[in-house]
Structure 1
Amino acid sequence: MNISVVIPLYNAEKYIVETLESIINQTYPVDEILVVDDCGPDRSAEIVKEYSKQHPSVRLIQQPHNQGGSAARNRGLQEARNEWVLMMDADDTIHPNLLKYQLEQLAEYAGVEPAPVCVHPAYVQTDANGNILPNSEYRGQQLPFNETFGSLLVRNYIITPSGLLLNRGAALEIGGYRTNFFVSEDAEFILRLSRKGTFVYFDKPYVYFRRHPTSITSDLKKASNAGKAILEVYSIDEIREAIFNRSFDDQKNLLDFITLLYQYQLFDEGFRYLADITDEEYQQSKLFYQALYYIENNQEIEASCYLDQVLILNDSHGAALNNRAVIYAKNNDSKKACELLESAIILFPGYMDATDNLQAVKKGTREYRFTKRELRKNLLRYS
């Protein structure tokens, strides 16, 4: 099977050669590498031109003017000559065996209906210099087709296009990446694709996801508006149906639906549903989201009562530690606030809210940030 690679290129002169080398050095050789230049102001395109002289499989495609990453990816998908396309960002790298093992995994799903439309890997995060960050693995899961859309709504575990092996026909049939969708456009594409066919998961962290100031700024901007943007695409009824279509017990599905209502700023509706969470297994989550409701309504005394109950049940609850610390800080108890924030950072390295809040307490700036949902085991690194 011949494989194409598509890489949108914009201001990546520091990283693009390393990215290309990781693709050229795959143990399963690629047929073509399409680098789509989105007219950045640096030397990225010139570097790729020079590189292509030594590597004929690399082809530079020039956009007429800057149109954004979605348009660049679509251009690459349209011009690719093969059925399967490996997507990459210009600053990430991949393990030499990624493609080999992805294709082996794909072969195991031959005959599955609906047919596979992508293979997505696990990831490990690196700093700007390519050094692997400790405890930064980010894993997905293999799901049946009818549960994928709902699960991705709750937690999108495909955190970057890099390493995503796409069926070109399926990607084009759904319209590719939306060029008029400027918030979480990668996640929005993945959600549409998940309704087209089966997602195959490769459970090895063979994509090295580089975290540097430019990418971090972009991610934060997207994350802050993602909930509102998703609601503009899907109705609450569609979302409810997708969540409850999963094979989890009704209480977990309900709790996940509540977290989405909160994410979409529908706090009153979500809070009413919390009364139906009765299983002991979900009590600390219920208490946390009850506290968050009162935080959103500026009722911090009530919020503190619920957060204290969470921490009695689980003193390692990172988001509760952060949010309780913020309330302490706002009430001028800096010592207690720092203790809780330092505990949260030890438990969750890279926890940005807690890190920034700790600095704010020490500097006395009083610019604090509450965490609006429970934490994943390993966090995306923003610093």
Structure 2
Amino acid sequence: MTCTIVVKIGTSSLTQSETGNLALSTLATLVETLTDLRRNGNRVVLVSSGAMGVGRDRLGLTERPRAIALKQAVAAVGQGRLIRVYDDLFTTLKQPIAQVLLTRGDLVQRSGYVNAYNTFQQLLKLGVIPIVNENDTVAVDELRFGDNDTLSALVASLVEADWLFMLTDVESLYSADPRSNPHAKPIHLVTNIQQLQEFQVEVGSSRSSWGTGGMITKIEAARIATSSGVRTVITDGKHPTNLKKILSGDAIGTQFEPQSRPVNSRRHWIANVLVPMGKLYLDPGAIKAIKEGGKSLLAAGIIRVEGEFNPNDSVQLCDNESQEFARGLVNYSSSEMQKIKGCHSEQIPEILGYYGAETVIHRDNLVIV
């Protein structure tokens, strides 16, 4: 059976750890594998890191840049060279590709999210393999994906993928870091992200000075993807041919089972794509009404307001212990919220001097996280 597959490969798999030079043998094997999958009728998307590492190598830099402007300049140099290598390799196999550079800002507007969806669908329909990366040259901190693990999960959700493969520098998820703990045990199947607490999983940062992600970002990416019905796999990036084996049923790496009833695309967009601009702290009655009763949020249930936000911005809903349990799109600004918090809906026109929405967040714009 054919399916839609998103493959994310990290900098540590694409480059040689000692020099930062591209690992051309790994790249060539990856390209051959993805082309074979495409020729077998699958729809394939590649999310590729490596622009920063390639740019550093090209410019002769020995340390990772720290200043934002320098990071963006180095990524711009590397991205062109990286896509050139991909194009040469895929062209040898007569497989067309497309470069897609995204920032979170491209997706936070609902219209932009829909446009991105339509573009991906057309590319896949044409038999093209889109190669996706964050547009580091123009991204600003508050609208960055942060790492390509998160980007790959959002892309997998966007294109309604069946599989997300995250190729990294370890062959699976372990109960502890296997590089420092000889008693670490591999975890082959995760049926629920909460299960990792039972395994007492320890997560650390990437060992590569060239990359940005660690296992913790991959677990978060798995949470995003599985909540949208995407089966997610963490496996060794140095052996891309494992993709075919896993699709054939081999138990390689760590698999995260998808949720049986994924959230719809709009709720996924609210929960995972939008950047929360503030927090609302709720009383126990409001929390129960939302979590158990599926109710909208009313002003009367709000205890405290944090942050500065405008109507239709995303905010986090938290309990008294600052634990987030939901997100939603607000109908009022933060300054308005400060005035109406704890008040009944019928009091809002008198307090604000005009009639507004009865709800602070309508249940259609609210999702439990």
Q: TM-score under structure 2 normalisation?
A: 0.29
